[in-house]
Amino acid sequence: MTLLLFLGGLAALLGGAEMLVRGASRLAAATGLSPLVIGLTVVAFGTSTPELAVGIGAARDGVADLAVGNVVGSNITNVLLILGMSAAIAPLVVARRLIWMDVPVMILCSVAVMGLTADGRLSRLEGGALFLACLGYLGLLLRTAKRGGGGEPPDAPAHVPHGLASRALDLALVAAGLALLVLGADWLVEAATSVAAAMGVSQLVIGLTVVAVGTSLPEIATSLLAVLRGEREMAVGNVIGSNVLNLLLVLALTALVSPQGLAVGAAVIRFDLPVMTAVALACLPIFYTGHCIRRWEGAVFLAYYAAYVAYLLLDAAGHDALPAYSAIMMRFVVPLTALTLVMLVLRARHYRRARASQSGGGTE
């Protein structure tokens, strides 16, 4: 039965991703909105619904570790695993608005959640504040898109009709794709969680790994398919939009439905939330250099995700190698990565200034 759930969930995810990307890209062409804006809104909201369903269900069942681990783990997975896999297939185009607006918003949200949960709890009042911030962000996003700040709108192909019936069909494709994504993610999470629980793994680790990857499968399927279909802006926008909505919508509503607010464990405050924030910060210099994510940068993301999961497994098992592993990561790998990111940004700025000087223009 577990195998059937897994295979059925995988099939539903693949079919749902195809329908969602096809319908969303056609809507983008018909309405004049860029694939980036569609990815940041419609697609991001749809692919975040599994996290929302899992979070609210876990909060009502009193499993706070699973609810928090799901959101934090999903955000880490979205950047390191999904963007890493997508960039490994093909370099990803990063729109300017992501660098100057949406990624800073993601970083700000990550820092805000760290601050709000420092006392070990996200109260209902704080959840309500995050939800209001979500409404403000969506309003700002759509407002800037109408003013032309959402990237280049796609050229509508001549063979794509823009009539009412055509738009209704595209909306039906999006809705059906979202439904299949949610159903597929639910089946896969149920199958994987049953296996993990039987192995005696804690709820927090299950939430940070198995459930986080399971609820991120819609983002994985949608982003990879968007890359294969040439909608690379939608792939990146989907990840960034999903991360913002996970913090401002999923975490907010999860706290709101919890009678006493949402308890946040010491391990999450000490390690996982800082990792999530560091991952968000790392996006800015990587996106800035060349306005793209290169294949080797995608490989680095994947390597860091493997290192993060290895740490969680060593910690869960209480392995003797954990102290040495942590020391190597903190004393060598992390500082070397930070230095590399700084050098990449300085090199990119020097190159742009030199190019602007040669063309007779000002610096960017």
pLDDT at 47 over 80: no
pLDDT at 133 over 70: yes
> How many degrees, rounded to 5, is the angle at CA 154 between CA 150 and CA 159?
155
54 contact partners, CB below 8 Å, separation of at least 6: 66, 67, 70, 189, 211, 215
Q: Does residue 131 or residue 166 have the better pLDDT?
A: 131
Q: Using 50, 70 and 90 to split pLDDT, how confident is the model at 153?
A: very low
Element (H, E) at 335: helix 334-359
Find tokens 């391990």 and name the residue: 267
Q: What is the pLDDT of residue 148?
A: 55
Tell if the pTM clears 0.75, that is, is over it.
yes
Q: What is the pLDDT of residue 122?
A: 93
* Residues 152, 176: Cα–Cα separation, whole Å: 27
Q: What is the pLDDT of residue 364?
A: 46
**Which of 60-69, 118-127, 280-289 ranks highest by mean pLDDT?**
118-127
**Which of 27-36, 195-204, 305-314 ranks highest by mean pLDDT?**
305-314
Element (H, E) at 92: strand 92-93
pLDDT at 282 over 60: yes
pLDDT at 263 over 80: yes
Q: Are strands 121-122 and 292-293 parallel, antiparallel or unpaired?
A: unpaired
Alpha helices in 117-211 (DSSP H): 124-146, 164-198, 203-206
* Residues 305, 81: Cα–Cα separation, whole Å: 6
- Average model confidence (pLDDT) for the chain? 81
